[in-house]
Amino acid sequence: MGRLDGEVILITGGASGLGRGILDRFVEEGGRIAVLDRSAERLADLRRDHGDKIETLAGDVRALADNEHAVAACVARFGRLDVAIGNAGIWDYNRSLDALAPESLDAAFDEVFHINVKGCLHLAKAALPWLVRSSGSIIFTVSNAGFGPAGGGPLYTASKHAVVGLIHELAYELAPNVRVNGVAPGPISTDLRGPAALGMAERSISTLDLGAFAAPHTPLGVVPTPADYAGAFVFLASRRDSPATTGAVINCDVGISARGIGQAAAGAKLAEEYAAPAGES
């Protein structure tokens, strides 16, 4: 018996990376899964691997209509919806404010926030009637960047702080009918991409050697796999294991928040970079 036997779960960004790890674990736990993802090719891979245990829909989380279509397809296939997981996201590859070109700032901000934040809001809006009927739950993927610096640049870090705020507000607004929680992973080797506005749409975090430059700076000294993070999502989705939990974020950051004093400041070179030319005060 799985912990999610018979439960119906909708996952955004579920065709690769962390989303795929969550999906695979939820299937193992007996869940029936619907996936909204923008990659038709990867959705085809899911159908090949999991067959009639899943329903798939290609779409963009930035569009409310696509979220509504995903919910409708899920309910048409399985008859209900118990858990909505807002997982789709992009990363800014730690692009600092100083390094953000003025001409790309507006577009990059909109892209990151529309996917990382508005995508979660759209999913919650589309799923709400069905989650109220099932006394279900919402789970958003956060990040260690939702609680501190250096997990991204200002765009990504601000977007993940916003997701934490969204969890708190929706947990208040939707209680006692729907529980709303989050999971904050630390470093992870996935196919996470960057903003097209910054020329990073085809750049994947999996091309970085996270084991070499991230693992040594974490107390646990590892870069977990997507599967390593999936259990936290199972716990929050389980009616038996977390019936008293709402407005919470499980921090799975391999100890980043407990590492103590690290680099004192990241902007040491700015004074030299922006020094006034000789003769100017």
- Positions annotated as catalytic residues are 156
Separation CA 99–CA 95 (nearest Å) = 6
Which single residue is written with the structure tokens 């799985």? 2
**Cα(253)–Cα(65) distance, rounded to whole angstroms?**
33
> What are the structure tokens assigned to 149, written together?
């610096």
What are the backbone angles phi and psi of residue 252, rounded to the nearest 5°?
-115, 55
